[in-house]
A and B are shown apart, each in its own frame.
Chain A
């Protein structure tokens, strides 16, 4: 069955939006931010910060040449040389510099680490204002930018906003608070943290059910299907074995049994699983890895080999916890689909909430986890209950399944059956086994 999403603006939402909507900003578009020498963990946080707190007002750009703003970590290995290069060739592009210790810089804003979200947000907003001003001066009669890109980004804000309002409304209804109290839009000095509606132009209200643009790399754009229909079901299934994630899971299994690091080498760079520290050393940069993740692999594209020691070249390799790596790689592979080796129509068995602060998060993830923690559902009924497209549920399920936190009923017995096949025992098995046993390794 197909889940029909419908727009249902309630009076509260309407009055709220009417109160808070600002005059239309004709020159709105998400600003592109290049992240230079920013480590992966901070990068993940920034991506989330841009899409959640900043509501997609900023997006990460891999190319500093085309970026509107550059964010440079001066403590990084190449941070200072990036900054020198930037100051020389790109002085028109505003820069924000980060470092642990106070640094005097000219022609750029400096922020201390650990980064304060409030300060960063206000700096970004200042730059936005300045850029808008320059733009207006350059093209006084510029027409509204109505590219599809902008529409999607803006309606993304809007959907997220509506979702949060809805959830808040439910709390309010039960707590029996009078609606009237709600309609006062408090616009104090304090910037709201979770979501900010202040910049939603009125023209966007009619653009109903599109999703946050920044979520697409994780969710894909596959429409809902009828999981009972075999043909349609095949559209939303993928075979992990045919993708890089399959190789990674094989390598993890090998690292577990041998108790030694296992490398996956390829012409793109290498990925090494280190069982002792539960880490992955990745030599391929994030963007490239993302595109590799979604392409089916050739038989000889990746070679697995057991290593005696690990070679960690600073500046070339990223270290990441196995769990965070597998989770993200799965999202990039799944793109809103589910693995073939689970029964899509059976009840989801959810072990526990993932450690979401240390994993790549995307819209709806907390709601799906909260629902599964409370009630048993099938994949399709989850999407229905939460009134969201199935692809969000499928992506969340795939990622949670890959790290051993979710499966469907039938799949469990399959796993037990496969466990009955005796596995060669090895005295080198360490604590690492515990976590690996939870990773899905079939």
Chain B
């Protein structure tokens, strides 16, 4: 069902494919190809169309998780995949030389979507690079998009990713209940 579609976005190597894999019980469908944009971390493949996986919630309903391709040459996919999504999980790689500019870039790219939906932000690879800290991200967001959940997330860790999704779901729930 479209209504349970959740979108994962963020730059190449932020951990989108990994995060979806962590919470999906079966291996998600991914469309990997050779990366051209940036291949830091010796990461040679990148998602070109999308990742797709399902996460069973409560045994009664299924969340459909879609990972967008990180490279900007595929940004036309972002709009396509946004359609019908109820929320956005934005992952930012803390080891990037300028993660704040990545953050603002993606917030701008998804501006329209964020306006009518809910967003949560996961900062990945904080085990490799501790700064900037979560408070610094919150300070960046204060004037742009206050009051949204920003968590340290290891995309390989199921509980981290699940908690991020839970924060999205409860925010959405309150939004809709209002």
- Please report A residues at the B interface, Cβ cutoff 8 Å: 16, 20, 45, 48-49, 53, 114, 116-118, 161, 164-165, 167-168, 170-175, 177, 181-198, 350-353, 355-358, 361, 366-367, 369-371, 373-374, 434-435, 438
Contacts and interface: CB of A to CB of B under 8 A. Distances in A.
B162 A374 contact: no
A197 B60 CA distance: 9
11 contacts: A53-B162, A164-B58, A170-B177, A186-B62, A191-B25, A193-B55, A194-B57, A351-B138, A352-B146, A369-B149, A369-B167
B58 A195 contact: yes
A170 B176 contact: yes
Contacts of A198: 59
Contacts of A172: 3, 61
A171 B1 CA distance: 13
Q: Indicate the member of B57, B153, B175 with the most A CB atoms within 10 Å.
A: B57
Closest 6 CB pairs of A and B: A190-B25, A373-B147, A192-B56, A174-B176, A117-B158, A167-B173
Given A177-B1, A194-B162, A370-B167, A356 B59 contact: no
A370 B25 contact: no
Contact of B57 (A117, A183, A195, A361): A195
A364 to B, nearest CB: 10
Contacts of B58: 161, 164-165, 168, 192, 194-197
Interface residues of B, number: 51
Nearest to A117: B158
B163 interface: yes
A438 B134 CA distance: 13
A357 to B, nearest CB: 4
Contacts of B54: 190
A165 B167 CA distance: 15
A170 B169 CA distance: 11
Most chain-B CB neighbours within 10 Å: which of A182, A193, A438?
A: A193
B45 to A, nearest CB: 21
A350 B146 CA distance: 11
Contact of B60 (A173, A182, A369, A371): A182
Contacts of B152: 355, 357-358
B169 A438 contact: no
B107 interface: no
A355 B61 contact: no
Nearest to B156: A114
A210 B166 CA distance: 22
Given A186-B60, A352-B138, A117 B159 contact: yes
A197 B56 CA distance: 12
Nearest to B25: A190
A181 B2 CA distance: 13
Nearest to B1: A177
B164 interface: yes
Given A367-B170, A438-B135, A186 B158 contact: no
A20 B58 CA distance: 10
Contacts of B141: 352
A341 to B, nearest CB: 23
> Which residue, of B59, B153, B173, B176, has the highest number of chain A Cβ atoms within 10 A?
B59
Given A48-B159, A170-B173, A194 B166 contact: yes
A11 B83 CA distance: 31
A49 B159 contact: yes
A171 B173 contact: yes
Contact of A193 (B56, B146, B176): B56
Given A118-B25, A177-B3, A190-B26, 15 more contacts: A114-B156, A168-B57, A168-B58, A182-B60, A185-B59, A196-B58, A352-B142, A353-B138, A353-B149, A355-B150, A355-B151, A357-B163, A361-B163, A367-B170, A370-B167
Given A170-B173, A170-B176, A170-B177, A357 B59 contact: no
Most buried by A among B25, B55, B170: B170
B167 A356 contact: yes
Nearest to A404: B135
Contacts of A183: 60
Contact of A114 (B26, B146, B157): B157
Contact of A356 (B149, B158, B178): B149
A353 B170 contact: no
A192 B62 CA distance: 9
A435 B60 contact: no
